[in-house]
């Protein structure tokens, strides 16, 4: 079943251009460049607040989506990890939409949070990869990701498909609320349908990433930095590395470095910086300089323009295609997945079945 691939995780990373295209087929109409969601039988324009709840990688997809819901639709978003959500007595007002994101649709904490929201009058939407799952059955609106079965314990293709669905949902909500006009909707759709080709272009750098994995494999700690919608990608990169290579890793918002974690920096700590060129680039570069001034070993992941500006002095660089900021989180997922994958291969760990982890966490 793995075909020519050595591991399911590798196969699933490579499936992303295809499965993201498959998912987008159900959420956008190419002919008239419009967002096309499944039948929604409640009034989307009446949604006043969104609550997003998920765990792990699915939670990071939710963090990216918060940017989209707020910038496109101007609807305030609360987001929580499921294990914290229920016990903090969240204020759930009428007119709220609660979105649960889960590959399996069975994660116990997320399911319990869903039931809590349902009891408290929220409209329930689920973004799930398993359409027959408990979370799908209990939802008012099911938004399936069409990633196909994900076998590797480390989630990869489910994540990028979740992002595709959430971007389409955010645009749809923005249209329903009158915050996005037809031309803007078409622009969003045009960018989304560029994602599969951009994912392929990112995968083209697999060999470069494999070549630099031996630089990271001996590290005891690794930091990942990103800003804006790429901050959750830094968290995702760190989670992937922890899960399968057992290297301690942390993701940080670039600007937060100087408030503490910079104390950890020395020649032994690789710092992976995710920074597509754009309005936030200069700021991230200055955070990167702070790291380098303390002997930090920086790996910069950026596009050609960003690398030309700031790539000198890094221990390695990874070039990404030059993409619109909307799809950057999907594209930048690829290098962090591949980096974790190759480091794990160098270390000889069990990539698909890492120790202590289960694919689906059905206990609280």
Contact residues: ligand M6R, CB under 6 A: 55-58, 102-104, 107, 110, 153-155, 239, 243, 357, 360-361
Closest CA to 273 of 248, 292, 293, 259: 292
- Considering the complex, what minimum distance in angstroms separates the CB of residue 104 from ligand M6R? 3
Q: Which two tokens stand for residue 160?
A: 């990028």
Is beta strand 270-274 parallel, antiparallel or unpaired with respect to 221-226?
parallel
If DSSP codes are grouped into helix, strand and coil, which group holds residue 125?
Answer: strand
Element (H, E) at 60: helix 56-68
- Considering the complex, what minimum distance in angstroms separates the CB of residue 112 from ligand M6R? 12
Q: Which two tokens stand for residue 25?
A: 């087929």
Scanning 204-298, the segments in alpha helix (DSSP H) are: 206-216, 231-245, 281-292
Is beta strand 123-128 parallel, antiparallel or unpaired with respect to 141-144?
parallel
Compare residues 249 and 257 and give the one whose CB is closer to ligand M6R. Answer: 249
Q: Give the other-Cβ count within 10 Å of 347's Cβ.
A: 17
- Considering the complex, what minimum distance in angstroms separates the CB of residue 58 from ligand M6R? 4
Q: Which two tokens stand for residue 94?
A: 């009428």
Chain position whose Cβ is nearest to ligand M6R: 56
Compare residues 69 and 159 and give the one whose CB is closer to ligand M6R. Answer: 159
- Active-site positions read 359
Compare residues 46 and 358 and give the one whose CB is closer to ligand M6R. Answer: 358
Q: Give the other-Cβ count within 10 Å of 292's Cβ.
A: 15
Compare residues 150 and 185 and give the one whose CB is closer to ligand M6R. Answer: 150
Compare residues 104 and 254 and give the one whose CB is closer to ligand M6R. Answer: 104
Rounded CA separation 331/306 (Å) = 15
- Considering the complex, what minimum distance in angstroms separates the CB of residue 159 from ligand M6R? 8
- Considering the complex, what minimum distance in angstroms separates the CB of residue 339 from ligand M6R? 14
């Amino acid at each position: 079943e793995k075909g020519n691939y050595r591991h399911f995780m590798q196969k699933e990373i490579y499936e992303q251009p295809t499965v993201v295209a498959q998912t987008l087929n159900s959420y956008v109409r190419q002919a008239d460049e419009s967002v096309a969601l499944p039948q929604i039988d409640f009034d989307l324009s009446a949604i006043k607040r969104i609550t997003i709840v998920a765990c792990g990688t699915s939670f990071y997809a939710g963090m990216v989506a918060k940017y989209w819901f707020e910038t496109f639709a101007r609807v305030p978003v609360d987001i929580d990890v499921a294990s914290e959500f229920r016990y903090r007595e969240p204020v759930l007002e009428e007119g709220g939409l609660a979105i649960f994101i889960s590959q399996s649709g069975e994660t116990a904490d997320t399911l319990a949070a869903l039931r809590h929201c349902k009891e408290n009058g929220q409209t329930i939407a689920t973004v799930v990869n398993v359409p027959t799952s408990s979370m799908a059955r209990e939802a008012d609106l099911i938004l399936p990701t069409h990633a196909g079965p994900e076998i590797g314990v480390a989630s990869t293709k489910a994540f990028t498909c979740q992002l595709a669905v959430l971007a389409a949902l955010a645009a749809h909500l923005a249209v329903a609320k009158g915050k996005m006009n037809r031309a803007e909707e078409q622009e969003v759709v045009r960018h989304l349908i560029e994602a599969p080709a951009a994912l392929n272009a990112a995968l083209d750098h697999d060999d470069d990433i494999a070549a630099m994995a031996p630089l990271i494999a001996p590290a005891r700690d690794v930091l990942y930095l990103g800003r804006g919608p790429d901050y959750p990608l830094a968290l995702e990169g760190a989670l992937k590395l922890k899960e399968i290579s057992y290297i301690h890793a942390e993701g940080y918002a670039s600007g937060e470095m100087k408030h503490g974690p910079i104390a950890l920096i020395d020649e032994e700590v690789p710092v992976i910086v995710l920074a597509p060129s754009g309005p936030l680039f200069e700021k991230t570069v200055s955070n990167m300089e702070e790291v380098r001034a303390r002997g930090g070993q920086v790996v910069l992941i950026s596009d050609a323009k960003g690398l030309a500006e700031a790539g000198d002095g890094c221990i390695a660089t990874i070039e990404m295609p030059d993409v619109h900021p909307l799809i950057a989180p999907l594209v930048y997922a690829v290098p962090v997945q591949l980096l974790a994958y190759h480091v794990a291969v160098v270390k000889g760990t069990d990539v698909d079945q890492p120790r202590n982890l289960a694919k689906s966490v059905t206990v609280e």
